[in-house]
Structure 1
Amino acid sequence: MYPANVEIRWHNVTSIIVLVLTNNGGLRINSAVDILVVTNHGLSEKTRRDFTNRLMFISGKIGNINAIRQLEVTVINKSDILPWHFPPKYEFMYGEWLREQFEKGEIPRSTYDPDLAILLAQARENSITLFGVNAAEVLESVSIKDIQRTIKESLPGLIEDIKGDGRNVILTLAGMWFTASTSEISSKDQSAEWAIPQLPEYHAAILDLARKAYLGERVDKWEGMETEVASLVNYMKNILLLSAYFM
């Protein structure tokens, strides 16, 4: 069934921003398209449901063979992030990892989310504005201290998600390590490329597999590799926890 159109009150929309990460090589073969919408108003229940149904219709499912990009859409109410404070709060979030919940009728709710700090920092640095005010004008800067807090607070939940999502967990940990060491944010594959030479050879091979699969250069099958993946995850986790960054 074709979903209903979403009624957009454009006077309530401050900006529609696409994160492009041009400095980090742009979209990879398995990259989602990250869209940030800044509003000056909250979303009604009907708008949430209609927006979710519309996004489920146009966003590519994980693993689809039709080259349809996944969409990751975050809506923030300007009053929830200005003035800047940590943790930030989003009004609505859509991502394909949540599709099963949406198919059951659940809809995104407003939530405080430390990870949003990294998204907003990326938007200020590398984005294209499709509508309204540029990201650097509507978003306040995010301090490296808050980026560090994001990594620290996200680490336990990330590791819990390792089952069934090994590649993403490994690459995200590499990104955390890169940011913890350099105070910069980079793409998943470039963070992995930076981390690989610093790992023991047997760990480096696993991270390199994840990197190449992310780039579409290899097919990764993680079944039967649970022990190796867990060992690598534990190694990188300990580096983060033992570094002065977390002291």
Structure 2
Amino acid sequence: MSRTGRTRRADQTEEVVRLVHDVLGADVVGVYAHGSAVQGGLRPHSDIDVLAVVRSRTTAALRRALVDGLLTLSGSCAAADTVGGAGGARPVELTVVVASDVRPWRYPPLCEFQYGEWLREAYERGETPAPGPDPDLAVLITAALRGDAPLAGPPPAEVLDPVPHDDLRRAVADGVPELLAELASDTRNVLLALARIWLTLTTGEIRPKDAAADWALTRLPAEHRPVLAHARAVYLGAETERWDGLLPRVRAHAAHVVTEIERRRPRPR
């Protein structure tokens, strides 16, 4: 990535942090980077992943203010007068948690707010995300702790409890049904996410999507490799995202990977 590209991404992250502080004010405990930015660097299709920890519950009005701000900062729809706007901006995934909901740790954790581009249409219709249980927070918090990349506030280890290994494994497995529901509409990301889940359940590691795909490709039967290889290549910007020729293989590939995941699913307590 060029120096200009890196500067644009850094400035976009700063805009997200500024929005969090503008909306939530003194209630903010800390803001932390996670995801590709702290796991080997952003790829062409990587999101900017940010986790914010706050002291108390938000209101619907505050959550709507976050949504409205992010609709102008995130992705190709970013306004031209924002940093990197008019197509130069990356998608943003912002997650907000209340400190007392995640420390002391318990499962499943409660998510106070989440914005992601996959929900843009709902947000543009006026929907506002509500708090609710979110097993995936186990992965986000683990990634934030391992990345140790505060954007504001103290180091994450001073704010967040480590997630027990068993809960991390439960969380990634519990997210599979929701992913499969989006297989047709978000094919690339779902395939890469399934590869990451398979890897995490097998090794306990959390790796970038392309690294997880590399790992999975060496373990897949030959007939299931082309689908994941294409998803990886698109993620890295090496191929155009066209699924026409591979579409008949997508569900068979996903079914094979889900079988591998289920073999490793933690037993109920």
Same fold, judged at TM 0.5 (above): yes
Q: Determine the structure 2 residue equivalent to 1:207.
A: 228
Assess, with a 3 A threshold, how the Cα gap between structure 1 residues 50 and 8 changes in structure 2: closer, same or farther.
closer
1:39 aligns with 2:54: yes
**Alignment partner of 1:236: what SS?**
helix
Deviates more, 1:190-199 or 1:10-19: 10-19
CA contact (8 A) 1:21 1:122 kept: no
Tell me how far 1:202 sits from its aligned partner.
2.1
Q: Determine the structure 2 residue equivalent to 1:81.
A: 102
Cα deviation, 1:142-172, whole Å, max 9, x if unaligned, reads: 0110111112211122112111211111111
Matches within 5 A, 1:1-247: 7-8=22-23, 10-19=25-34, 21=36, 24-61=39-76, 66-243=87-264
Cα deviation, 1:101-147, whole Å, max 9, x if unaligned, reads: 01110111111100111000000001421211211110000011011
Cα deviation, 1:17-43, whole Å, max 9, x if unaligned, reads: 112546632111110101111110111
CA contact (8 A) 1:6 1:51 kept: no
Amino acid in structure 1 at the alignment position of 2:213:
A
In 2, distance between residues paired with 1:225 and 1:81? 41
Provide the identity percentage. Answer: 35
In 1, distance between residues paired with 2:65 and 2:28? 17
In 2, distance between residues paired with 1:101 and 1:61? 17
In 2, distance between residues paired with 1:174 and 1:142? 21
CA contact (8 A) 1:5 1:54 kept: no
CA contact (8 A) 2:30 2:54 kept: yes
Q: Determine the structure 1 residue equivalent to 2:13.
A: none
In 1, distance between residues paired with 2:220 and 2:52? 38
Cα deviation, 1:172-199, whole Å, max 9, x if unaligned, reads: 1110111111111101100000110111
| Structure 1: gaps (5+ residues) | none
In 2, distance between residues paired with 1:119 and 1:27? 16
Tell me how far 1:61 sits from its aligned partner.
3.7
Tell me how far 1:92 sits from its aligned partner.
0.9
**Alignment partner of 1:209: what SS?**
helix
| Structure 2: gaps (5+ residues) | 1-18, 78-84
Assess, with a 3 A threshold, how the Cα gap between structure 1 residues 244 and 163 changes in structure 2: closer, same or farther.
closer
Assess, with a 3 A threshold, how the Cα gap between structure 1 residues 137 and 99 changes in structure 2: closer, same or farther.
same
Residue correspondences, number: 244
Tell me how far 1:246 sits from its aligned partner.
5.4
Amino acid in structure 1 at the alignment position of 2:194:
L
Give the TM-score taking structure 2 as reference length: 0.84
In 2, distance between residues paired with 1:209 and 1:23? 24
Assess, with a 3 A threshold, how the Cα gap between structure 1 residues 246 and 215 changes in structure 2: closer, same or farther.
farther
CA contact (8 A) 1:21 1:127 kept: no
In 2, distance between residues paired with 1:44 and 1:130? 24
In 1, distance between residues paired with 2:125 and 2:57? 24
Assess, with a 3 A threshold, how the Cα gap between structure 1 residues 5 and 119 changes in structure 2: closer, same or farther.
closer
Tell me how far 1:245 sits from its aligned partner.
5.0
